[in-house]
Structure 1
Amino acid sequence: MNDTTPLAALSAAGVSIWLDDLNRAMITEGELQQLIDTRHVVGVTTNPTIFANALSDGEAYTDQVKELVAAGADVDAAVFELTTEDVRNACDVLRPVFDATNGVDGRVSIEVDPRLEDDTDATVEMAKKLWAAVDRPNVLIKIPATLEGLPAISQVLAQGISVNVTLIFSLDRYRGVMNAFLTGLEQAREAGHDLSTIHSVASFFVSRVDSEVDKQLDAIGTDEALALRGQAGLANARLAYQAYEEVFGTPRWQNLADDGAHAQRPLWASTGVKNPDYSDTMYVDGLVAANTVNTMPHATMESAADHSQITGDTITGTYAESQAVLDRLETVGVSYAQVVETLETEGVDKFVKSWGDLLGSVQGELDRLAGESK
């Protein structure tokens, strides 16, 4: 592999490159392996939207759906079986990466049913069920960072299950997530689990922050407001890394690290650029720091492979400037608290809607194939 490529440079700078996509054809036809070989991909994230899109493609899933029809599976059971099958097989493709990195990478994420986001106990039970069904050490169970999700994160980690915490928008909530992570590890240690086997990432969303803030800046319309467009997403994420450095520099963390624990890495999610006026690699080039993950949609990954400018760490040393951006937003009339609350609510709603779309497409396939079998 030519190690002068932008993605090689990104990987060398300490950023793990994960693909934000998965479908069965990618696994069976070798595309996932090709991305590992040519794009430095060392992990995969999934969500209900990705699965809904994959299953709507149809043919790759027909044989398994026929088996589910014959077994009398309802739509929830069918979705569970179809998605865990894809994640299990992707875990197997990525197993050599998992082994080579001592479990840090080679990870595939699968999300709990987002309709459970306000039910801590049901979220924990679903996470345990997914962990058992995929039955691979390199799976990550995705749990949304809602208020009800925080205790679920701790409880799931306490059982030795690795977790991807998703839908993080605010710095306060991110601190709550890190606290839930530390609490979970402390409980896992008490229960006798080997902390070195438990891994976690915290998925901090980036582009959606700019989309919401820019919309409000455009509505305000002053020169001062318009000059701030496209700055909030990077500033917010960089301040999240500052919080990460603080929390994982505490005696509380060191006590766990001494027992073999791995830090919960920040993961930059929602890195596809929504505004065509901005550089299509801004959330790659602007978020380079050690011990992070950047999960990219295909288009962003190809853009980064082609023309990313990786110049080393672009996060540490930016904290005062980043805080100044958020301060100026408040000055011109954009409420940070309102922005992040809106984004969390919308994020959960989008996941629930996508889950509904997924259920609908699978129900359609079950009905169609049941009709054919009569």
Structure 2
Amino acid sequence: MDTLTPLPVRPVGPLRRAAAARVALWLDRRRAPESDGPTAGPVLDLAGAADAVQDLLPPAPENRPSGQLTAHGTRVVGPVHGPVGYRRLMRRLLSEASSASPAARPTAIEYRVPAVDALVDARLDQVGGWEAKAMRSRAGIAGAHLLYDMHRRELASPEWTEAVAHGAAAPRLLWSTQPGAGPDRGADLARRLLLPGTAVALSPRALESFARHGVVTGPTVPDLAEAHRIVGVLDWFGLRLDDLDSPAG
């Protein structure tokens, strides 16, 4: 009889490789634990992942005007779903940065990938047809890659360069895999969003799936050509990412 007790699975390659790619992994506990059944195999020792998980989003009420604070004091604002909401929020943050003391809290702008997919997919379903169906679940990643490129250019602007030179903390982008993505989908989104200088928020189960099965060879290279192609096809259907943050969106 086998009397050996399986040891807890320790966080290995994917978590540390994500950190090496200059991507901060955050544990997202804002929502109830996933209830889609246990993950096969021994439970991941999340305590052992402390060196790879850099922050925690604790349970908190939604839609707080001032933003939610992480365990380490970063203010999370948003969410934004596209360029319009992002630009609006960056203007507000720049105004705050211009008058803030150097000790002002660091800020993360949240972009919820599954929420963007859900908004666009619902409109694609209204369009109907196999062409529209083929574009489902593509807008979120495409929008994230375009937003990343926009964010890099925005932080390189004279206004933000001056604000940072005077002690303001440049905001970072936070890719959220909740709500709407199960553990495996969340892990896959994380793998495709290892964009340097950003953070990825994963539920406990998604973090476990990423640690077990994630294949990370280095940082994600923004695929702007593919992102623009997807946006162009969506535009042909009459769907614009700019509209997702409009009052009617």
TM-score bracket, shorter-length normalisation: 0.7 to 0.9
Q: Find the residue that maps to 1:230 and give its secondary structure.
A: coil
* Cα-to-partner distance string for 1:7-64 (whole Å, 9 max, x where unaligned): 11111111111111169xxxxxxxxxx6353252211113xxx45xxxxxxxxxxxxx
Higher normalized contact order (CA 8 Å, seq sep 6+, divided by chain length): 2
Name the counterpart of 2:233: 328
Alignment check: 8 A CA contact 1:326 1:336 kept? yes
| Cα gap change, 1:20 to 1:3, in 2 (>3 Å) | closer
Name the counterpart of 1:35: 46
Q: Are residues 1:308 and 2:214 paired?
A: yes
Name the counterpart of 2:83: 171
Q: Are residues 1:256 and 2:163 paired?
A: yes
| Cα gap change, 1:313 to 1:38, in 2 (>3 Å) | closer
Aligned-pair CA distance for 1:181: 1.4
Alignment check: 8 A CA contact 2:11 2:49 kept? no
- Give 1:26-175 correspondences, 5 Å limit: 35=46, 37-38=48-49, 40-46=52-58, 50-51=59-60, 114=63, 123=65, 138-140=72-74, 163-175=75-87
Of 218, 221, 224, the match for 2:128: 221
Q: Are residues 1:205 and 2:112 paired?
A: yes
Q: Find the residue that maps to 2:200 and give its secondary structure.
A: strand
Q: CA RMSD in A?
A: 3.2
1:268 and 1:213 mapped to 2: Cα distance? 17
1:275 and 1:139 mapped to 2: Cα distance? 27
Q: Find the residue that maps to 2:217 and give its secondary structure.
A: coil
2:248 and 2:174 mapped to 1: Cα distance? 17
2:245 and 2:120 mapped to 1: Cα distance? 10
| Cα gap change, 1:36 to 1:246, in 2 (>3 Å) | farther
Aligned-pair CA distance for 1:280: 4.6
* Cα-to-partner distance string for 1:272-315 (whole Å, 9 max, x where unaligned): 66379x84522101111111111111121111111112232324
What is the TM-score with the length of structure 2 in the denominator? 0.77
| Cα gap change, 1:275 to 1:3, in 2 (>3 Å) | closer
Alignment check: 8 A CA contact 1:272 1:280 kept? no
Alignment check: 8 A CA contact 2:139 2:230 kept? yes
| Cα gap change, 1:310 to 1:202, in 2 (>3 Å) | same
Alignment check: 8 A CA contact 1:232 1:325 kept? yes
1:281 and 1:19 mapped to 2: Cα distance? 12
Name the counterpart of 2:21: 13
Q: Can you give the 5+ residue segments of structure 1 that lack an aligned partner in the other structure?
A: 24-33, 52-110, 118-122, 141-162, 345-374
Q: Find the residue that maps to 1:139 and give its secondary structure.
A: coil
1:3 and 1:301 mapped to 2: Cα distance? 10
What is the TM-score with the length of structure 1 in the denominator? 0.53
| Cα gap change, 1:245 to 1:36, in 2 (>3 Å) | farther
Name the counterpart of 1:74: none
Larger Rg: 1
Of 93, 101, 105, the match for 1:181: 93
Q: Can you give the 5+ residue segments of structure 2 that lack an aligned partner in the other structure?
A: 1-8, 32-44
Aligned-pair CA distance for 1:221: 2.9
| Cα gap change, 1:324 to 1:21, in 2 (>3 Å) | same
Of 287, 294, 299, the match for 2:205: 299
Name the counterpart of 2:173: 266
1:172 and 1:228 mapped to 2: Cα distance? 22
Whose helix proportion is higher, 1 or 2? Answer: 1
Identity of aligned residues (%): 25
Aligned-pair CA distance for 1:340: 4.0
Aligned-pair CA distance for 1:326: 1.3
Q: Find the residue that maps to 2:77 and give its secondary structure.
A: strand
Name the counterpart of 2:36: none
| Cα gap change, 1:308 to 1:19, in 2 (>3 Å) | same
